[in-house]
Amino acid sequence: MINRIAKEALLRLASQFPVIGVTGPRQSGKSTLTKAVFPDKRYITFDDRTMRELAISNPADFIAAFPDGAIIDEAQKVPEIFNAIKIHVDNSQFTPGKFILTGSSQFRLKQNMTDSMAGRVTFLKLLPFSVRELKDEGILPNNPYDIIFGGQYPPLHDPEKHFIPDDWYESYIDTYLDLDVRDQINVENLSTFKKFIQVCAVYSGQLLSMESIARDVGVSAPTIKKWLSILETSFIIHFLEPDTNNLGKSIVKTPKLYFIDSGLLCHLLRLESKEELLLSRHKGAVVETFAVSELLKHRMNLCKKPNLTFFRDSKGFEVDTIADWKHTFAIEIKSANAPEAKLSANTRKYLELRKDAHARNAVFYLGDISMTINGTSYVSWRDWGDFLS
């Protein structure tokens, strides 16, 4: 098993809250992580029909059968279990980390847990592998485009499996539509929703334009708004909000859309190889998507809010990402493989406008060595996401 950085955050949460929900996209390794972190806990999955029927027939007795708690996978398949856990926790001695709940349907899992166990539960969001996790395992490829094109979902990096990414992603989308989306929209709209996902791929790394997406898909803007929410809730996409520091200038108020996994993005863009990606007009957007995803993973693996924005004023001056962490970092993302001074021009200008003595700037690039030149950090793709660690 590849060591997951998020295990430390999971242990930290389990030392404080009686119920932990581990959420994230399908196939991100939630069950594998929880079983590895809590090897002494009973593991139950409601994919098992017998267990599911026992829990449905008498939820209170079912939960009482596990006085030391348990890991319950696919918990959303038995909605009755959430209230039973709440009552059990309330009527028992306070025990942090007693129940760990996971599930592949983020909508139903989080809604049921939030509604039933407010104040008793916290959540850890687990995304696919980060570059650092693959690097620590010694399986990070030498060419950045291998990982950018191939993606980082765990099954694609399992040595016992031999998935072809294109086939795996096609199956992944079909499963996602059938098991997650079907409950959220009219069944007759499933094929249109699939087209919608493909259209969204073209806009990854760009300002969100619901009107443009609506026109391309052939549905109304309000429908697009609802569907975007579904993609965001299920960790297919993420929105970067604009920086609120207007620095005395007019700034855009529209978020930017990013896919969580660059491999899935490449599949949706119908790119068939890393060589095709290198020649594609989408190359810059895919690389930027990959970088933003690494920053998201870094924060979520620590169970911290992303606190990532971007800056763009009305004249088109832009900084790709602003990370407001311990210090503010202005980050420019480039597909160049050499640390040229011109790459940092926008971030240096932003720091001048911001006038924050503690703010810093960085350029994410595709070279192999991280270095600092004239106060600017040039961060190798191998260190994206954990360059502050």
Among 262, 290, 295, CA closest to 386: 295
| 138/159 Cα distance (integer angstroms) | 13
* pLDDT reported for residue 354: 86
Q: What share of the chain is helix, strand, coil (3-state, %, to 5)?
A: 45, 15, 35
Could you tell me the residue ranges of all domains in the chain? 7-125, 131-383
The pTM score is: 0.94
Of 106, 57, 50, 48, nearest to 81 (Cα)?
Answer: 57
Q: Shortest CA distance to 319 belongs to which of 306, 305, 333? A: 333
The confidence score (pLDDT) of residue 138 equals 94
Look up tokens 């073209």; give the residue.
202
Closest C-alpha among 135, 125, 133, 152 to residue 266: 152
Give me the chain's average pLDDT, please. 92
**Type of residue numbered 353:** L
Q: What is the pLDDT of residues 3-17, one digit of tens each?
A: 999 999 999 999 999
The pLDDT, as a whole number, for residue 45 is 94
Write phi, then psi, for 130 (nearest 5 degrees): -95, 165
CATH fold for domain 7-125: Rossmann fold (3.40.50)
pLDDT at 250: 60
Which residues in the chain show pLDDT less than 50? none
